Chain A
Amino acid sequence: MEHLNKNNNKNNIPFPYVYYQCTCQVVSKIRRDIFFSTNQFPLKEPVESEINSTTISHFPPTHFNHYRLKSIYNLYFCPSCCEIHCPDCVKNDFLCFYCPNCLFDVPQASVVSEQNRCIRNCFECPVCFNVLTVVSQKDVLPTSASTSSITDEQNSYYLACNVCQWKSLEIDLSFDKSTGLYLQLQKKESVLPHEVEFQNLRNYYDKCLRSNSNMNSINTKRLSALFGNSSSLLISPSIISHIPDLKTKLILAKRENNQKSDEYNKTNDNQDSTILMEDELEMIRLKNLENMEELTSLEQKLNQPEDQPKFLSHLRIHRIPLRVKLQTKCNKCEKILIKQEIQKMKKPSNIRFAIKCFARDYIPNIFIQQLIPNKPLYKDMPVQVLLKFVNPLSQEIQVSLTTLPNKQNENENKSKPKIDTDIKKSAPKSPMSPIFGRRTSSLMASPKARKRGPSLKISTAPIIPTKIKEEQYKKSEGVSSCNVTVLAKNFKIPAYDPLKEFENETEPTEQKQVGIFEKKKNSVSIVVEVRPTGNVNDRVEFPILVTYSFVNDQKEVDNETPISPNYAELSHGVQKFVSFWTVIGIGKIVEENIDNNKDNKNKENKNKKK
């Protein structure tokens, strides 16, 4: 579903949604800010190392990168650096190559030599690019009497397309056997001019390489691969003069090379005249053309780039291109995030994962549970949104939420840019007071974690640019077209326990916190009040900063629980903070019904009068 959304305009992203901002967004924003303030493009390394929960809190998502926001299912989480990653900021490696039609694994060595295409019986139709099937001529003959007359030796096979009814007989292609079609086809293909040309070139350069490597013991193979055939130029004259034998050999080799290249060019000249002849013939044929359907389409020409035929009869069948399975790595610490199970001698149709680090198994999953009331959104009519937070970890987590400062009511009628600056001023310049204040208080609660406190402070200091140019922020539209109030800003979510999964007991309602709607096994639903303040048709969406922390109270030996993150550097009992921004969209502001009715009535009246 997501791929459809990406292509569409931002305004078409369907409601309601909860999207997450990836860490790479923060990195790119920091780099942009440093570039604007210093006019120097910063290196990637120091910026990435500065990423932690505090720096992330300074960079709320703006409306411009709606495309870059991801749903939780598209995100990965690196357990060793505690960061969210999206498909745009991971490293991908080839795991295996396979044919999408016969699903056979192709070893990496033969992938290159076989031009990334299937070496079995899989061919695609040159007209409509669908898979061709092998048909025996015996089967097609309708009467049973004639089939019996043809013995197996006489039988021949051809390829047919199930979609456009194209047959390989149209290009005079048939096979003696129904298996090993590629080997049969290879003989015919090897006579084609472009294949011959390629083979000639290859032989020529192979010769050159061999003569060079014979010439001296220096590994010229590598040099000539880098600099073409001019390896003799690389050796300085002083060295050559020191080795008398080499000098004569070099001169000899040079002469040989020149001769060879002359020969090669000559063959090319001869071919040119024949090509001219062919061109003229083709022109005559085009002039006498009666049926447009004989010509190829652009797509068909591009599928055969070596000669780009103009007539359907010149098309050739192609083997099916291979597909690849990828393995995903964290681009910071190279830890493997996604790896499919690959066993030798097993088909690549196996789809189990050996390693999977999906974000949904590590960070709190947020769902919009309900809108109260579930009606169209009107301006200044507050709605209550129930946000459900689910804890996938096997530890209890402490969640704290922060929203951007709300617009003041008085500002509503004033021009938009001013409001923007108000928000922006308060957001990046004084974020320390609400966010950090809260953090220290939570640090105070757990004395063990207090040690980590100062390091957090220090690390934030150099990275935040002191001068933030307000103009660049003015360009961005209003961050939110609504006022958001979160009552329960700090709450705890109990650990996920797979044993309790199928129990239906609802927990006793212990001292209910303000703003919490309900508590279930490993989820907490909170109430968020949203008051849309924008104009009609404005999108009601707001960012929320989620910071969650947990204490690794598990013994390191305990590896039984699969979803427990394996924090290497996190020793027993240390509190860890992870932050990320989410954007929650609940709908569009609708014009109020009363007005609508009035308008309609007026229109109707007018129509009646007419």
Chain B
Amino acid sequence: MEEEIIYYDKSEYIETDSGNKISRKSVISVPQNIVLGGKTIIQQNCIIRGDLRRKGSGYAVVIGIGKYCLLGEDSIIRPPYKIYKGVFSYYPMKISDYVHIGQRTIVEAARIGQYVIIGNDCVIGRFSVIKEYCRILDNTVIPPNTVIPSFSVYGGNPGRFISELPESSQIIFEQKAKQYYDRFIAKIEEDDKKTSN
């Protein structure tokens, strides 16, 4: 079944040359430190903390986000921090391609691999590493420093291994991510189509 098209208000979103769709209602601090891979959707009231970075001069990629990602409404992307040898500092975060982050989810992971779906209302703890092809169920709390291996489903509070994913998850997740981007269409375009027809 082809899923329903999600319309958004064209005036609310900025579309970049590489196909990123970023809501004007989102909070993106210090965009110079943030890299988007293209065709990524950032929905309203998202908070991306590009300002939290290691002390020092010059630019540094604080948050790298791949292509076909989705940052759901009210989600918070914040680089992880720790005290190392008595010095408090933030560390960069990397989010790979085809990663969906659900609504109201807080992410402080060090690295999220490709094809990962994170549900709504989750907390991904500091310095956790999520490998490729994973699924985090809704309302999961992943404790800090957790490593989640490939093909696993995690859920619960604290988040624990629940089951394995089928080998074909790559195809499912890729389709899902691409279809979501294709379904995410500006409202005005629809009117244009009607008039042109």
Residues of chain A touching chain B, judged by Cβ–Cβ distance below 8 Å, are 2-3, 16, 73-74, 87, 98, 100-103, 128-131, 133, 139, 144, 147, 162-163, 323, 328, 338, 349, 351, 353, 356, 358, 360, 367-371
Given A73-B171, A87-B166, are A3 and B153 neighbors across the interface (CB < 8 Å)?
Answer: yes
Given A349-B149, A351-B133, 12 further pairs, Cβ under 8 A = A74-B166, A87-B166, A102-B147, A103-B147, A144-B86, A162-B145, A323-B149, A349-B132, A358-B168, A369-B1, A369-B2, A370-B1
Alpha-carbon distance between A506 and B172 when the two chains are bound, in angstroms:
26
Q: For the complex, is B31 an interface residue (Cβ under 8 Å from A)?
A: no
Query: Which residues of A sit under 8 angstroms from B26, Cβ to Cβ?
Result: none
* A368 in contact with B149 (CB, 8 Å): no
Does chain A have a CB within 8 A of B7? Answer: no
> Is the CB–CB distance between A139 and B83 below 8 Å?
yes
A74-B166, A100-B161, A351-B133 known; A131 vs B147 contact (CB < 8 Å): yes
Interface: B160 (CB within 8 A)? yes
Roughly how many angstroms separate A87 CA and B164 CA in the complex, as a whole number? Answer: 12
CB distance from A303 to the nearest CB of B (A): 13
- The listed residue with most A CB atoms (<10 A of its CB), out of B151, B153, B166, is B166
Cβ of A469 to closest chain B Cβ, rounded Å: 37
Picked from A130, A358, A371, the residue with its CB within 8 Å of the CB of B143 is A130
The total number of A-B Cβ pairs within 8 Å is 72
Determine the main DSSP class of A at the interface with B.
Answer: mixed
Contacting residues, chain A, for B131 (C-beta < 8 A): 103, 349, 351
* A147 contact from B86, B133, B153, B169, Cβ within 8 A: B86
Closest to A388 in B: B2
B166 touches A103 (CB 8 A): no
Nearest to A148 among chain B residues (CB) is B86
Q: Is B191 in the interface zone, CB < 8 Å from A?
A: no
5 contacts between A and B (CB under 8 A): A3-B163, A100-B152, A103-B131, A130-B143, A370-B2
Indicate whether B146 reaches chain A with its CB closer than 8 angstroms. yes
Could you tell me if A353 and B153 are in contact, using CB atoms closer than 8 angstroms? no
Encode B137-181 as 1/0 by CB contact (under 8 A) with A.
Answer: 000000111111111110000101111001111011000000000
Chain A residues lying within 8 Å of B149, measured Cβ to Cβ, are: 98, 100, 103, 323, 349
Q: Known contacts A349-B131, A367-B1: does B168 contact A133 (CB below 8 Å)?
A: no
Interface magnitude class on chain B: 20 to 34
CB-defined contacts of B145 to chain A, threshold 8 Å:
131, 133, 162
| Structural contact, B172 and A73, CB atoms closer than 8 A | yes
B125, CB-defined interface residue at 8 Å: yes
User: Does A162 lie within 8 Å of B150, measured CB to CB?
Assistant: no
Please name all residues of chain A whose beta carbon is closer than 8 Å to the beta carbon of B153 when the two chains form the complex: 3
With A and B bound together, what is the CA distance between A74 and B147 in angstroms? 26
Closest to A6 in B: B163
Contacts of B168 in A (CB 8 A): 73-74, 358, 360
Instruction: Determine how close the nearest CB of chain A comes to the CB of B162; give it in whole angstroms.
Output: 8
Question: Do residues A130 and B1 form an inter-chain contact, with CB atoms below 8 A?
Answer: no
Cα A596 to Cα B143 with chains together (Å) = 49
Query: Contact between A101 and B1 (Cβ–Cβ < 8 Å)?
Result: no
Closest to B176 in A: A1
A3-B153, A16-B1, A103-B147 given; A129·B166 CB < 8 A: no
Q: Is the CB of A351 within 8 A of B160?
A: no
Q: How far does the Cβ of B66 sit from chain A's closest Cβ, in whole Å?
A: 16
Which residues on the B side are within 8 Å of A349 (C-beta)?
131-132, 149-150
Residues of B within 8 A of A370 (CB): 1-2
- Provided the pairs A100-B161, A349-B131 are in contact, do residues A130 and B146 lie with their beta carbons within 8 angstroms? yes
Per the bound structure, the CA–CA distance linking A349 and B152 in Å amounts to 12
Of the candidates B83, B86, B132, B162, the one whose C-beta lies within 8 Å of that of A351 is B132
Bound: A353/B153 CA distance, A: 20
Alpha-carbon gap, A133 to B82, bound state (A):
13
B112 to chain A, nearest CB (A): 14
Rounded to whole Å, the gap between the CB of B152 and the closest CB of chain A is 8
| A356-B167 in contact (CB<8A) | yes
* Pair B147/A353 contact, Cβ less than 8 Å: no
**Least Cβ distance of B193 to chain A in Å?**
16
Q: In the complex, which residues of chain B have a beta carbon less than 8 angstroms from the beta carbon of A98?
A: 149
